[in-house]
Structure formats: structure tokens, C-alpha cells
Homo-oligomer: A and B are copies of this chain.
Amino acid sequence: MAEKITPRAEDFSQWYQDVVIQARLADYSPVKGCMVIRPNGYSIWEQIQKDLDQRIKKTGVRNAYFPLFIPESFLKKEAEHVEGFAPQCAVVTYAGAKELEEKLVIRPTSETIINSMFAKWIQSYRDLPMMVNQWANVVRWEMRTRLFLRTTEFLWQEGHTCHATGEEAEQRVRQMLRVYTEFAEEVLAMPVIAGQKSESEKFAGAFKTYCIEGMMQDGKALQAGTSHHLSTNFAHAFGTLFLDKDGKQKEVHQTSWGVSTRLLGGMIMTHSDDRGLVLPPRLAATHVVIVPIFPQSQGQMQARTQVIEAAQKVLGEIETASSLSNLPYSIGVELDQDETKQAGWKFHEYELIGIPLRIELGPRDLEKGQVVLTRRDLGKKEFVPMVQVGQVVVEALKAMQKDLLEKARAFRDARTFRVDSYSELQKKLDQPGGGFIEASWCQNSKCEEKVKQETKATIRCLPLTSEYEPIAESQSCVICGAKGRAVRVIFARSY
């Protein structure tokens, strides 16, 4: 239990792994590249699912479930799509003790299998928009994997919609980008930049890809969600047609959009510290743990009983305050009565697994009519009169959710730099702590590729105007110096 977490400053990558393993969020499995999500980690995924699922449903999308298997021929119907995914596919060749006639690919994403159903279900404009989402596992064979961030199998939601026009599809793509942005900031307390991917970074088969990008504490970028405008690319390949009001058969315009268990990795790398997990209250199942401090000398049964009774009263008052509050969740409170473990051991354990608030309560606190409250992110003890504990807990949880976002935003803003030359770009990328580098780019993929080859940084996104247009730059391209088509981009090294 008392393994040490490598400090972030010493080795960020080892720190991340230490937090994930020691807080029992996930573990390596015997299957190469696949992880096990342990109860402490899965509970966070359940909170993510619950909240995001409501946001998705509010936009009129319903959940469904499509097969894990995709016939190999389906994947090949859209040329760019198969080119992008074929190298990463896991393939079933043998089933039911027989060689299969047609190989089955484990879904790396479901545009193809879902289009085969859309083509069957959609007849007329009256069937549009058709909008479904599924929560599912997908498999992409990866060479280098990291818990949550890049695993061969991962969990995600993938939404798929069909529309009568390209304009409607574009509206939906933008709407989901907003849903993801709000969700990341309000729930994960992770500030993100919403932008557009460059041609070379967009989804295989998409017309246009939007994304949200977060900055981790090591200054690297993490793509936290994507929203794709597929245009009629898949509809054309699968014959997903509808009879329009004008009596003509037309291809539907589609979108797809998703976030995955990768969000857990992003959340951890945004907030956690050298003592372990720091969890935004909206992702916690248990928000408060009450640790009674028992009298040191034996035989003081009465004092012991008084401490337990006071702790139970505190628990009740927090639950009452929770039900009267306008918090978007019920406060989960636990009272740790285990006398076989020392209070110090418990403090360490609850810090490690990221319980947002800790309340201590001993005989001397009782005398003073107070409890000791410690916020996980601040680590500073605060004395709270027992009569105020319910209200103070509610306020502390609200403040912690807000502060985590603000702190992360301030961190990101302080590590975002504008550069006007290639040498400056290289210098900023190589300085300790990394960061996001804003620069002007001519939209030529050769310049993009040159930066990637020489610095290992990529264009994370083209930030957008309020009209969802790339931001035109009067400056010339920082790589080639060309003028005219230049737009603003963010370069960064990334996960």
C-alpha cells in the first residue's frame, strides 16, 4: 500500500502510471495492449456515461446496439476508411470450429455496419433525421499502448446521424462539438480548445473533422473527442438513399462523433498530483469520507462511542444538506469505522484514490464543537463548526469543481505561446514544460509534414471563429513564409 508515487517533475510518464496503478484505477491484462478497468476507475466511467448520456439524449438521439463484427468487404467499401483502419484491425478467421467464408473484423468504429442498417431503414425524407448512439467496446491494434490513453480495446460512445442536407449535418457536427466542450469543462473540469483538424489529421472517410484538445500537466496535447462531418461518403458506398420531397432519390448526409475511456487519462493528467488522484466532485461516487480519530489510550469506550455518534450525526447532516442543495448529484458520504487501520494510513489512502473531501473528528474536536475539513486539491486543514458542516461541504464541493477548471485553464493559458517564425516554434516546443504554440500556417500539407518530421509536433487543430471558420492570418506561414491562405493553427506534441 505504501508504494511511492514518482513525482511529476522527475518522470511525468512514470508518475501517470504510478497514479493509475496505485489508485487501482486500471491494471495491465495478460492480453497485449488490453487493460482491465478496476472498480475505482470504472466508477468514474459510469459517472461519465450517466452525465454524457443525458446530454446526448437531450439532443434527440436514442441509444441502440450494433454488431461487434464487420464483414471485411464492408470495411473496403469506402476507400479512405479502409486505408486508415486496415492496419489496425483484429480479424476473426475461425469460428464455431470452422474457417469462416468471409473474415470478420472486430469493429474499430462502426460507420460501415451501421450504414448497412441505415440503408435498410431509411426510405423517405420522413425517416430523417435518423440519429443513434451506442456505448460499446472497439478494437484498434496499437503498437505502443498506455493505460486509458491508448489501448487495443477501449470503451466509447459513437453517435451516428443521417440528414437530408449537408447544412443540417454540419449543424449536428457543431452541436456535438459544443456538447463535448461543455461536458469536458463542466464535468471533467478540463478546459479544451474546440477546433478543426487539418486534412491530414481528419478521420479516415470524413469530409471534415472537429475536435476538442486539452493540455496535460506536461504541456502535451490530448485529443479528447471528435465530431466528424462525413458528407455523403459512406451513404454513397452503402447506397443509403432517401426519397426527397421533390421526388428524387438522394444520398443522406451523415455525421459521427465519439469520446472514449481516454477521457479518464486526460482527466487524471489534468488534475492529479504527486500524492495521487485528484477527482472533480462531479466524477466522484464518494465525495466525502469521515475519519473518526479514536482516543489513543485503551479502554475509553465512552469517548470512542461519542466520536462515532458525532461522526454519524455529521454524516446525516451532509446528506440533508445534499438533498436541499442544487448540486447536480447526491453527495456520497462514507464513515470509515475500521479500527484495524491507523488514521494516517487512511489519510494517505483517501488522498491516493482521490476522495474530494476528508473530514476528521476526534475527542478534542468534539469538545470544541468542530470538525476538520480537508479539500483533496488544496490539502489544507480547515476547522468547521459542527453546526455548519452540511452547508460548508456543499460549498466546498462547488468551489472545488470550479477551482479545478480555473486552475487548469490558467495553467494552459500560461503555456500557450504565439510564434512568428519557424526557429521560434522549434525553440518553444523544446523548452521545458512544452505547451501549445499558436502560429500561422499556409494550409499546405508539406509544411505540416516538415514540422512533424523535424519537431514531432503536429497541428492539433485550427481554432475557429464563432462562425466555425478557421481564423485567417495576415502573417505569412511560419514554415515556408507563403502568404495568402494562411490560417491560425495550434502546434503541440501530443498523446
Contact = CB atoms under 8 A, between A and B. Distances in A.
A451 interface: no
B106 A71 contact: no
B97 A90 contact: no
A299 interface: no
B36 A67 contact: yes
Interface in A90-106: 90-97, 103-104, 106
B65 A36 contact: yes
Interface string A110-138: 00010011001100000000001000110
A89 B95 contact: yes
B64 A39 contact: yes
Contact of A117 (B36, B68, B93, B103): B36
B39 A132 contact: yes
Contact of A62 (B29, B42, B66, B96): B42
A139 interface: yes
B27 A120 contact: yes
Contacts of A29: 66-67, 113, 116-117
A34 B92 contact: no
A137 B136 contact: yes
Contact of A92 (B91, B96, B121): B91
Contact of A27 (B31, B63, B117, B141): B117
Interface in A41-70: 42-43, 45-46, 62-70
Contact of A143 (B74, B93, B96, B113): B96
A93 B90 CA distance: 8
A30 interface: yes
A442 interface: no
Interface string A134-162: 00110101110000000001010000000
A88 B96 CA distance: 5
A63 B46 contact: yes
A89 to B, nearest CB: 7
Q: Which of A71, A95, A117, A143 has the most CB of B within 10 A?
A: A95
B67 A31 contact: yes
A221 B74 CA distance: 38
Contacts of A38: 64
A151 B3 CA distance: 46
A67 B153 contact: yes
Contacts of A69: 31, 34, 90, 153
A119 to B, nearest CB: 10
Interface in A279-304: none
A447 interface: no
A260 B290 CA distance: 38
Contact of A90 (B36, B95, B137, B143): B95
A31 B104 contact: yes
A344 interface: no
Contacts of A397: none
B96 A141 contact: yes
A89 B100 CA distance: 12
Given A93-B94, A95-B141, A30 B87 contact: no
Contacts of A39: 62-64, 132
B113 A30 contact: yes
Nearest to A24: B121
Contacts of A95: 89-91, 141
Contacts of A66: 29, 36
A490 interface: no
A137 B68 contact: yes
Nearest to A74: B30
A464 interface: no
Identify the 8 closest CB pairs spanning chains A and B, nearest first: A96-B141, A39-B62, A34-B67, A90-B95, A37-B65, A91-B94, A31-B69, A93-B93
Given A37-B64, A37-B65, A38-B64, 4 more contacts: A29-B67, A30-B113, A90-B92, A92-B106
29 contacts: A27-B117, A27-B120, A27-B121, A29-B66, A30-B113, A30-B116, A31-B67, A31-B69, A31-B71, A31-B113, A34-B67, A35-B67, A36-B67, A37-B64, A39-B62, A39-B64, A42-B62, A42-B64, A42-B65, A65-B155, A69-B90, A88-B96, A89-B97, A90-B92, A90-B94, A92-B92, A96-B141, A106-B106, A136-B137
